[in-house]
A and B are shown apart, each in its own frame.
Chain A
Amino acid sequence: MIENNPIGRFIAHFILILGIVIVAFPIYYTFVASTQTLQEVMRPPLSLLPGAHFWENYKAALFGGVGRIGGVGVGRLLFNTLVMALGIAIGKIVISILSAYAIVFFRFPGRMVFFWLIFITLMLPVEVRILPTYKIMVDLGLIDTYTGLILPLMASATATLLFRQFFMTIPGELVEAARVDGAGPWRFFKDILLPLSKTNIAALFVILFIYGWTQYLWPLLMTNRNDMATIVIGLRKMISFADADTEWHLVMVTSILAIVPPILVVVLMQRWFVRGLVETEK
């Protein structure tokens, strides 16, 4: 498949560049809109070059407070979302790696029952069990709390299954060698299983972080106070049905700010992936 045909190379590059433009242009356009005043945004046609109000708009959005969301700054929303996304990602990984560890490496009564219980929850998406979960959260008084935002989304069958599959590929001899070397269950987990799961953990972290970051339905139900809203909810609230009532330049700023952390996570973790992939290669 490797040919050095100039025309073929040209076509390949053309298609790739076209694809990048299609994906990147709307984001660029959003960025352009985020650097202009409301009047400039509202008056078509929108310039294709960034305006002069970058600092002003971003400062206003981050720290000034946005009128339509009760004067809460986007900075606060970002922080809320970060807490939620990290909470979900880390919580899910911790719980699922531990439960997979128990299911794969220990013999205890009801082991398979627990496994199937976890497995069955795969068939129930969040939306199906949302009302009972909401009721429980209300009864526990967890509305408008980080716990309420994170806890119900933390239990994960997918991640547990993923770790289970991975653990099952670990040769029994390795487990036995560790036993002969005097490593108890905790030492084995810490010294051998965790380092070997590094790449899996990194992959899951990226997926789960983005999953948590883009949550919409659950935060919508769980938060009433504006200062507990997540960025996606904030964004939704900032857009009014009346065009004139919406501070579009700030909406654009918020949009840009909302996509920066997931991009950062992906870019930073991607380097990690590659290293992990190279390392496991024999």
Chain B
Amino acid sequence: MASVELTDVRKVYGSSVEAVKGVNIAIEDGALCVLVGPSGCGKSTLLRMIAGLESITGGTVRIDDRTVNDLGPAERDIAMVFQNYALYPHMKVYDNMAYGLRNRGMPKDQIDKRVREAAQTLELTHLLDRRPRELSGGQRQRVAMGRAIVRNPKVFLFDEPLSNLDAKLRGQMRVEIKNLQRQLGVTSVYVTHDQLEAMTLADILVVMNAGAVEQIGAPLDIYEKPASTFVASFIGAPPMNLVHVTSDGNGLILNDGTKIGATGLAVPGEGAVIGFRPEDLEVAADEKSHAGGLVLELGILGVEPVGAESYVYGIVGGERVVVRVAGRSASQTGDSLRVIIPREKLHLFGKDGKRLND
């Protein structure tokens, strides 16, 4: 049990490639922190720096109020679950889990007790005598988790642990990891590029882009108030719609010159980006019921029914917009659709992508 604190952590490869640019994150004891971002954003590098597998160019990493910058991975009291599980192929499941404990010189009976306990928690008991290649992907994943659990470490580190599983199993393991983490109460850092995983698992969500933190916060706070257009388009599926607008004093003008009514948003002179979630659009039955909202006329490009809901892809002012409609949509490709977005559901970003309204 421990807190993890990153202060101005930086990583420079060679002399100029800056992979991580001054990251500050504080993770409380027992919390699950998810680092999310597109590939190459530095999230894995950051995790490996916490693990001690990557040297730290600048800043400090503190685990349980102890600076661990100069400690090796084994001395940091962490356990890591790797993307490809990294199980020792020649060892049985039991030995895979016991190896780290043996290296620490733990007495045999104690190792046995711990391994069997962990195996029980993860329902691996009947697999203890198998070798990794005789296991399915999900089972290997569990063994990798087991190897982390038996160590009883201060911090769990997960490096995209579910990305090699099929979609169904991934959903299942996601719930298991969450429950296990709650149950054990071990501070965890979890790296993923999957925003769904990030949203569902995180106590604290850290959205990263190009080596820097874009936003830190509770998942739903980030969802509701993304700090930038990057976060807005990364969190949520389908992503938030972003429409560029300029203001001529009494109304807003879209990219292609279409005038739309004023919304009361303070759009700066140089233009701005208005964002709205696909589910916040309402199909307007008549024109009078939407005072204060943004009214848009979409040209429909296509409709995707996915069962419980449908995604209507449209174009407005030369920019693509997705509308999420409950049930089936009566719209057809080529039709036009009038939608309104209530005033309070609008997000306003500046030209630089930073959020303007609150």
A: residues with CB less than 8 A from B are 171, 173-174, 176-183, 187, 191-192, 195-196, 282
- The answer to whether B103 touches A187 (Cβ under 8 A) is yes
- The answer to whether A179 touches B90 (Cβ under 8 A) is no
- The answer to whether A196 touches B100 (Cβ under 8 A) is no
Expressed in whole angstroms, the minimum distance between the Cβ of B191 and any Cβ of chain A is 13
From A173, A181, A196, A282, B99 is in contact (CB under 8 Å) with A181
A183, B104: Cα distance in complex, Å: 9
- The answer to whether B86 touches A191 (Cβ under 8 A) is no
Chain B residue contacts of A179, Cβ below 8 A:
52-53, 72-74
- A173-B82, A173-B84, A282-B133 given; A180·B100 CB < 8 A: yes
User: Count of chain B residues with Cβ under 8 Å from any Cβ of A?
Assistant: 24
- The answer to whether B73 touches A180 (Cβ under 8 A) is yes
- The answer to whether B100 touches A181 (Cβ under 8 A) is yes
Residue B310, interface by CB 8 Å = no
- The answer to whether B79 touches A195 (Cβ under 8 A) is no
- The answer to whether B53 touches A191 (Cβ under 8 A) is no
A180, B82: Cα distance in complex, Å: 11
A192, B103: Cα distance in complex, Å: 13
Interface residues of B in 53-92 (CB under 8 A from A): 53, 72-74, 78-80, 82-90
From A171, A176, A187, B73 is in contact (CB under 8 Å) with A176
- The answer to whether A177 touches B80 (Cβ under 8 A) is yes
- The answer to whether A176 touches B84 (Cβ under 8 A) is no
- The answer to whether B103 touches A171 (Cβ under 8 A) is no
Residue B51, interface by CB 8 Å = yes
A214, B127: Cα distance in complex, Å: 48
- The answer to whether B133 touches A177 (Cβ under 8 A) is no
Chain A residue contacts of B87, Cβ below 8 A:
177
- Chain A, Cβ-Cβ closest to B78: A180
Expressed in whole angstroms, the minimum distance between the Cβ of B147 and any Cβ of chain A is 8
A187, B88: Cα distance in complex, Å: 13
**Which 9 A/B pairs are nearest by Cβ-Cβ distance?**
A182-B74, A181-B100, A177-B86, A173-B86, A182-B103, A195-B90, A173-B82, A180-B73, A179-B73
- The answer to whether A192 touches B73 (Cβ under 8 A) is no
Q: List 12 A-B contacts (CB under 8 A).
A: A171-B86, A173-B82, A173-B84, A176-B51, A176-B73, A178-B88, A179-B73, A180-B100, A181-B100, A183-B74, A183-B99, A195-B90
Chain A residue contacts of B78, Cβ below 8 A:
180
4 further A-B pairs in the complex, CB-CB below 8 A; given A176-B73, A181-B99, A192-B88: A171-B84, A177-B147, A180-B74, A182-B104
Q: Does more than half of chain A's interface fall in helix, strand or loop, or is it mixed?
A: helix
Chain A residue contacts of B89, Cβ below 8 A:
196
Expressed in whole angstroms, the minimum distance between the Cβ of A173 and any Cβ of chain B is 4
- The answer to whether B79 touches A180 (Cβ under 8 A) is yes
Chain B residue contacts of A195, Cβ below 8 A:
90
Chain B residue contacts of A180, Cβ below 8 A:
51, 53, 73-74, 78-80, 100
B: residues with CB less than 8 A from A are 51-53, 72-74, 78-80, 82-90, 99-100, 103-104, 133, 147
- The answer to whether B103 touches A183 (Cβ under 8 A) is yes
A202, B83: Cα distance in complex, Å: 32
- Chain B, Cβ-Cβ closest to A174: B86
- Chain A, Cβ-Cβ closest to B75: A182
Most buried by B among A178, A181, A182, A191: A181
Expressed in whole angstroms, the minimum distance between the Cβ of A53 and any Cβ of chain B is 51
- Chain A, Cβ-Cβ closest to B153: A180
Chain B residue contacts of A191, Cβ below 8 A:
88, 99
- Chain A, Cβ-Cβ closest to B99: A181
- Chain B, Cβ-Cβ closest to A181: B100
Chain A residue contacts of B90, Cβ below 8 A:
192, 195-196
- The answer to whether A173 touches B74 (Cβ under 8 A) is no
- Chain A, Cβ-Cβ closest to B54: A176
- The answer to whether B103 touches A174 (Cβ under 8 A) is no
Chain A residue contacts of B83, Cβ below 8 A:
173
- Chain A, Cβ-Cβ closest to B53: A176
Chain A residue contacts of B133, Cβ below 8 A:
282
A218, B79: Cα distance in complex, Å: 54
Chain B residue contacts of A187, Cβ below 8 A:
103
Chain B residue contacts of A173, Cβ below 8 A:
82-86
Chain A residue contacts of B147, Cβ below 8 A:
177, 181
Chain A residue contacts of B85, Cβ below 8 A:
173
Chain B residue contacts of A196, Cβ below 8 A:
89-90
Chain B residue contacts of A178, Cβ below 8 A:
88
A181, B73: Cα distance in complex, Å: 8
- The answer to whether A176 touches B80 (Cβ under 8 A) is yes
- Chain A, Cβ-Cβ closest to B48: A176
From B86, B88, B99, B100, A176 is in contact (CB under 8 Å) with B86
- The answer to whether B103 touches A176 (Cβ under 8 A) is no
- Chain A, Cβ-Cβ closest to B100: A181
- Chain A, Cβ-Cβ closest to B85: A173
A215, B126: Cα distance in complex, Å: 53
Expressed in whole angstroms, the minimum distance between the Cβ of A118 and any Cβ of chain B is 27
- Chain B, Cβ-Cβ closest to A191: B99
Expressed in whole angstroms, the minimum distance between the Cβ of B118 and any Cβ of chain A is 14
- Chain B, Cβ-Cβ closest to A194: B90
